[in-house]
A and B are shown apart, each in its own frame.
Chain A
Amino acid sequence: MESFTTLTGVAAPLPMVNVDTDMIIPKQYLKTIRRTGLGQYLFDELRRTPDGERIADFVLNRAPWDQAKILIAGANFGCGSSREHAPWALNDFGIRCIIAPGFADIFYNNCFQNGMLPIVLPQADIDTLLAAASGCGNHTFTVDLDSRTIAHPGGEIAFDIDPERRRRLLEGLDNIGLTLEKAAAINDFESRQRSAAPWLYA
């Protein structure tokens, strides 16, 4: 998996609450059998009219935010469907860090599986970052996972993250490989379960 250490880039403001994964990537793009290529359809129905025209005032259609690498969002981001196509689409677009007051659980977890960093901050900090990402001037932020800080044009904000998740991201560890190292414990579990409830095994 790709590691995440620091990320420097434009931050885009999207101050909507309850952004669901249907909105992030509509179902017609879930028919793919690949992980890549979804960036062009990110937020499709907000970015394009039914006739395929770009909706000029949607933030990710406007410079400099069309180059965004960081998204500042509202509460309960990523709710709804478990589709991992949502983080894939964000990643493919170039957004590898999402900062919000809260995330839906499955989406949050899916981000880490793809070397992406979701950051939870109190609403007051989100408001500061939204202001820094909006308006004119410089919108470049630097997210540093090692020092757990977000540097923005107006200052710096610290964030918290689970230490194990942080370690795995920093080192870009392969989760399946790590679990397979526990094969002995899995075998033990299975033999215990098989004798207690043999009907669970074909």
Chain B
Amino acid sequence: MARTLFEKIWDAHLVDKAADGAATLYVDRHLVHEVTSPQAFEGLRIAGRSVRRPDATLAVADHNVPTTARAEGIRDPESRLQVETLEANCAEFGVPYFAMDDVRQGIVHIVGPEQGMTQPGMTIVCGDSHTSTHGAFGALAFGIGTSEVEHVLATQTMVQRRPKSMRVTIDGALHPGVAAKDVILAVIGAIGTAGGTGHVIEYAGSVIRGLSMEERMTVCNMSIEAGARAGLIAPDAVTFDYLRGRPLAPGEADFDRAVELWRALPSDPGAAYDREVKLDAAAIAPLVTWGTSPEDVVAIDGVVPDPADARDAGKRAAMERSLAYMDLVPGTLMTEVAVDRVFIGSCTNGRIGDLRAAAAIARGRKVAAGVSAMVVPGSGLVKRQAEEEGLDQVFLDAGFEWREPGCSMCLAMNADRLEPGERCASTSNRNFEGRQGRGGRTHLMGPAMAAAAAITGRLADVRDFNE
């Protein structure tokens, strides 16, 4: 029978299936970070259990780490305790760990792929919702809670009910100036933040085929913002080329055998999905969000929408609340909205390709007066690569800050955060109330768009910069 990519991975990892349909799935790789793991290790300790497969586990601190003055360590005592707790737990349970001064340290979802740990056909979990990022390699990657982290540490399995499948096909050609971030924002705008609930989304179509590995990660990363359990993209030559030679990828002796297995993964012709959505690439413009939900998207040359046009009372109330929080007036041109801060980074857009796209806009220009803009590479290796290419100098010359790697102002657990009322053009993935700091206002967009906003001091159309 014709099977989807999702079904093939699912079937290949079934350890046990209960009569009622609950499946015990084997977990190939487990990524761990400091925020969602302390209580899990504590649970193991109390029950006298060990980590079943330290060799399939990798830990890194990312959420709490400072992005300046690394050598001084972590000032905030609670943040420091959390990172130290992770270090101690990794030492006690034998889990490999990238320390803060290791060049391989970075955001967990950037580190895994970069090391070649993320491979096609795998099941991957992490106590973090953006684990969906790893689906870009054709791996089934779920974000899980801390109790499940403990369960995976102890058993290397997870108990799951089989999600439904959805295919989102994006065919056609993207217009110049339209980035991977716009593609995924368009998908979320189309199906809504609960549109993917209970589903695994497979992204398909000529647009997806044409994306680089990094761009595919941007797309899969925000599957969770569409409510999906996971995102998936069929592996192909782009995937295999990316993986070859990475430290944790199959070595030269095994690589061709691995590729042979990976080639059998893509969905069979005629495989059925529970739901199909199609988007026309030509209809996607550079997008920004106007509200406090990632589904609140609008073309950069559009206007702040009017709650009076909402489809029902619930939606209208939500829009009114968002607009009040965002301090925006319906009908205002998006390009008239002035920003105070710009954040370029996160597991959505903190890879080298993202920094190149932003630097292309920043090169030879200056950050607008009164705007504070920062670039936070997603990992130490991304940072080093950017510096080798001179991108750090491009940013510094333009007046951007150049920081150490970490989650930073994506969620503002460290010192990088918005002040109440500040408005930020951000390449991260969530514009929730208070996400980047209490009272802070977030507009999501791609990296080139964020750089353009830094230069103009307002939300800006990147197409105006391509002279």
A69-98 interface bits toward B, Cβ cutoff 8 Å, 1 = contact, 0 = none? 000001110011111100100000000000
Chain A residue at minimal CB-CB distance from B229: A105
Q: A30-B35, A176-B151, A201-B55 are in contact. Are A79 and B85 (CB under 8 A)?
A: no
Q: Pick the contact of B28 from A23, A164, A175, A200 — CB < 8 Å?
A: A200
The answer to whether A82 and B143 touch across the interface, beta carbons within 8 angstroms, is: yes
At the interface with chain A, which of B191-199, B345-353, B381-389, B443-451? Answer: B191-199
The answer to whether B129 and A82 touch across the interface, beta carbons within 8 angstroms, is: yes
Q: Pick the contact of B147 from A81, A110, A179, A199 — CB < 8 Å?
A: A110
Report the number of A-B residue pairs with Cβ-Cβ less than 8 Å.
Answer: 171
The answer to whether B150 and A27 touch across the interface, beta carbons within 8 angstroms, is: no
Q: Which residues of A contact B105 (CB under 8 A)?
A: none
Give the CA-CA distance A31 to B61 in the complex, in Å: 12
B124 CB to nearest A CB, Å: 12
- Tell me if B38 is interfacial: C-beta within 8 Å of chain A: yes
Residue of A31, A34, A193 with highest tally of chain B CB at under 10 A: A31
A150-202 interface (Cβ within 8 A of B): 162-164, 175-176, 179-180, 182, 185-186, 189-190, 193, 196-202
A135-149 interface bits toward B, Cβ cutoff 8 Å, 1 = contact, 0 = none? 000000000000000
The chain A residues found within 8 Å of chain B, CB to CB, are 16-18, 20, 22-23, 26-28, 30-35, 45, 50, 74-76, 79-84, 87, 102, 104-106, 109-110, 113-114, 162-164, 175-176, 179-180, 182, 185-186, 189-190, 193, 196-202
The chain B residues found within 8 Å of chain A, CB to CB, are 15-16, 18, 20, 22, 24, 26, 28, 35-36, 38-39, 42-43, 47, 49, 55-56, 63-64, 76, 78-79, 81-82, 85, 127-129, 143-148, 150-151, 154-157, 159, 161, 163, 193-194, 197-198, 224, 227, 229, 250-251, 254, 258, 261, 293, 314-315, 318, 321, 411-413, 420, 430, 432-435, 438-439
Listed by A's residue number, 18 A-B pairs whose Cβ atoms lie within 8 Å are A16-B318, A22-B434, A26-B434, A81-B430, A87-B145, A102-B194, A105-B227, A110-B147, A163-B20, A164-B22, A176-B49, A176-B154, A176-B155, A179-B154, A182-B16, A182-B24, A185-B16, A198-B254
